[in-house]
């Protein structure tokens, strides 16, 4: 984990405040679970005060655009939303920090609710669930870690996260047009838009992959950075390499310790397929150096 590294910690050894993203993630899940339990105890009258309806402007209860993103009436709806939030949020929360991760959840959830409301104004329908927020987190995570391999239950073949995100949004658009159901596809689409806009406007420094880069000729290669700091060079070699063999070559002007550590960190974040040709060559060179150094001991 990134937070386990020595240079991610302050003088006291504790993780820096920017790394409060995981605590925020667990708190969001806890709030969703608590609202669900209260809905069971309080009945539909309690949930009725939180869900978003098509006539919300008549009563001016604007808080529903937020509270609907925390409300679930069905256990499996809650379970799968929280499962997805944890799976993808655990990847991005520690990079964004608690403030930006909380903002990402709220912006994506509200964006999904607003898009749904725009097409269901004055209708008898209502909306609830964290789905918009979850797909916004998926979009943001894909923009930060596009080459991470994920395995889908209905398609048991590893695919890159950026590929899954694009395919998912395309399917959502198709389903919205051709398969009317009680699933709020518009809220999912709005959540994707919200996640994308959030990364563009408030977390651009963490963007590695831009989903519209092909249209605008844009390609960002900035590595993810947590709130409030830039990642410095590590103070000791990565695991798996011996200090004596490594130092015998770094002193001779070969592959530097910091450069190799950067490449290994990139592999752990995005997979080996994310490396450029020059980085692959550097990795091969370092491996040969290690072999030579170990055999001469």
Low-confidence ranges of the chain (pLDDT < 50): 1-17, 220, 222-252, 293-297
Q: What per-residue confidence (pLDDT) applies to 266?
A: 73
| pLDDT at res. 26 | 97
Count CB neighbours of 161 within 10 A.
24
pLDDT score of 190: 96
- The backbone torsions φ and ψ at residue 15, rounded to the nearest 5 degrees and listed phi first, read -65, 140
Return the pLDDT at 73.
86
Which numeric CATH code is attached to 2-216? 1.20.1540.10
pTM value is: 0.69
Q: Do residues 16 and 10 touch, judged by C-beta distance below 8 A? A: yes
What interhelical angle do 131-144 and 185-202 show, nearest 10? 40
Residues comprising the chain, all counted: 297
pLDDT attached to residue 261:
72
pLDDT of residue 216: 54
For residue 211, give the nearest of 224, 192, 185 by alpha carbon.
192
How far apart are the C-alpha atoms of 44 and 36, rounded to whole Å? 11
DSSP string, 5-68: SGGGB-TTSSBPGGGTHHHHHHHHHHHHHHHHHHHHHHTHHHHHTTSEETTHHHHT-TTHHHHG
DSSP 99-138: HHHHHHHHHHHHHHHHHHHHHHTT-S-EE--SHHHHHHHH
Residue 130 and residue 255 in contact, taking contact as beta carbons nearer than 8 Å: no
- The tokens of 17 are what? 């405040």
CATH 1.20.1540.10 positions along the chain are 2-216
Residue 9, strand partner residues: 15
Q: What are phi and psi of 150, to 5 degrees?
A: -125, 150
């Amino acid at each position: 984990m990134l937070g386990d590294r020595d240079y991610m910690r302050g003088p006291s050894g504790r993780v820096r405040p920017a790394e409060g993203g995981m605590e925020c993630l667990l708190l969001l899940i806890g709030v969703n679970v608590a609202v669900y339990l209260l809905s069971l105890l309080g009945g539909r009258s309690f949930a009725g005060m939180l869900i978003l309806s098509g006539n919300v402007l008549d009563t001016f209860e604007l808080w529903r655009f937020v509270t609907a993103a925390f409300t679930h009436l069905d256990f499996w709806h809650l379970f799968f939303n929280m499962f997805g939030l944890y799976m993808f949020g655990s990847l991005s929360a520690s990079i964004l920090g608690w403030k930006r991760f909380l903002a990402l959840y709220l912006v994506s959830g509200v964006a999904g609710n607003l898009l749904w409301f725009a097409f269901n104004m004055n209708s008898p329908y209502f909306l609830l669930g964290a789905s918009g927020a979850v797909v916004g987190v998926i979009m943001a995570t894909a923009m930060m870690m596009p080459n991470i391999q994920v395995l889908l239950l209905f398609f048991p073949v590893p695919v890159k996260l950026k590929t899954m995100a694009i395919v998912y949004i395309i399917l959502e658009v198709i389903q919205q047009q051709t398969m009317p159901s009680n699933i709020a596809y518009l809220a999912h689409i709005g959540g994707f838009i919200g996640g994308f806009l959030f990364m563009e406007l408030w977390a651009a420094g963490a963007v590695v992959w831009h989903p519209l880069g092909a249209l605008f000729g844009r390609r960002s290669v900035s590595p993810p950075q947590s709130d409030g700091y830039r990642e410095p060079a590590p103070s000791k070699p990565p695991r798996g390499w011996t200090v004596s063999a490594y130092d015998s070559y770094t002193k001779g002007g070969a592959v530097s310790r910091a450069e190799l550590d950067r490449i290994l960190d990139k592999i752990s974040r995005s997979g080996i397929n994310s490396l450029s040709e020059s980085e692959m060559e550097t990795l091969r060179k370092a491996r040969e150096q290690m072999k030579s150094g170990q055999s001469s001991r």
